[in-house]
Amino acid sequence: MFLLFFILGCISEQGISYEVIKEVEVIIYDTAYVEVEVEVEVEVEVEVEVEIEVPEQYPLWVQSIVQPKLANGIDILWVVDPSGSMTNDMPRVVDGVAQMMAALPTNIFWRLEIISTDYLVAINMSSFPLLPGDSSSDAQSSLNNNISGHREGGLEAVHHFVSSNTDALQWLRHDAALLIVFVSDENDYSHVNSQVNSPNTFISWIQTFRETVYITAIVNQGVTVSECPGQFNPSLDVGLKYMDVANYFGGVIIDICAEDWTSGVAQASNQLQLVEEIKLDYVPVSDAHIEVFVNGAIWTDWTYDLSTNIITFTVIPPEDALIEVVYNYQ
């Protein structure tokens, strides 16, 4: 120990390293982390596939209808049989025309003419159509002036009238919809050499003449449904050809023997209005099994009333739209 101190005492100060400790003021800034709860509302579209079990015994049904295309107006022809057997029906013809004029949509410009099923009379008649604001007395005057002859060929009469009548060529509008109402207590007897002498030839021609066509037939129906089955010859007087044309276009058929044509004429007029509701053919399993499509896209603006079995549109599909109602029924 003494030797160690002795050695240390012999070492100069220059060989000694000093450790100098300086006091340094250090300021430390602490970072504080604070948890803050913030509510953020984010809207996320999630496609959910829902399966609804439908027992196999519930069949699928599709009802479809096309909205009328009426922006360019509607031309209407009442084609009336002038034969003697129609004498007792003429007052109802006038009433029917007046009822239609009253029922037609007020926002659509229509023109209505009454012509004979005798094509020679139809070609040569001089008359201009009834217009909005005209009365039943005006309809009576048109009937008195225009209905004569004896031929009972309504199909060929329409063809000759729209193609060759001088006045018709002035007022008919080729871009307007066309409604034809055939009124006869016999079948169509257009001449065999006529360009349109059958339902098929008439349909083919009229579709080239107008894009939008509606047909109503006020005729003798078959004896099983007629209101006067014993008053006509079933083999000659049933309006089969007129009914074939009406059925092709999804039109209206009215029994000429009916005392009142009001409901049928109203139905014919309703063809010219946008569909606001649809009466379903069957009762759906439930409203959850109903889908409505407009031009192939799902349409949700509708309600269903089970008590009436009617779908009512809260937003009416537009003109010329294809409406399809698909459902399983009981």
**Domain residue spans of the chain:** 60-66+276-328, 74-270
CB 143 within 8 A of CB 90: yes
Exposure on the CB side of residue 309, measured as CA atoms within 13 A: 10
pLDDT at position 14: 46
Residue 327, CB half-sphere, CA atoms under 13 Å: how many? 23
DSSP code of residue 132? T
Distance between CA atoms of residues 107 and 65, nearest Å: 21
Q: Name, in order, each residue with C-beta under 8 angstroms of 256's C-beta and a sequence gap of 6 or more.
A: 89, 183, 184, 185, 218, 219, 220, 239
Residue type, 109: F
> What pLDDT is attached to residue 229?
82
67, 319 contact by CB (below 8 A):
yes
pLDDT tens for the 330 residues of the chain, in order: 444 344 344 444 444 444 444 554 545 455 555 565 656 565 656 565 655 555 567 899 999 998 988 888 999 999 999 999 999 999 999 999 999 999 998 888 999 999 999 999 999 999 999 999 999 999 999 999 999 999 999 999 999 999 999 999 999 999 999 999 999 999 999 999 999 999 999 999 999 999 999 999 999 998 888 888 888 888 889 999 999 999 999 999 999 999 889 989 999 998 888 899 999 999 999 889 899 999 999 999 999 999 999 999 999 999 999 999 999 998
First-to-last CA distance in the chain? 117
Question: Exposed (0-12), middle (13-18) or buried (19+): which is 208, by Cβ within 10 Å?
Answer: exposed
Predicted pLDDT at 16: 45
Domain 74-270: which CATH number of 3.40.50.150, 3.90.1170.50, 3.40.50.300, 3.40.50.410: 3.40.50.410
Round to whole Å and give the CA distance between 205 and 121: 21
Contact 286, 53 (CB under 8 A): no
What does the pLDDT read at residue 23?
A: 53
CA 138 – CA 121 distance, rounded (Å): 20
Residue matched to tokens 């139905």 = 267
What's the pLDDT score for residue 230? 81
Q: Which amino acid is at 108?
A: I
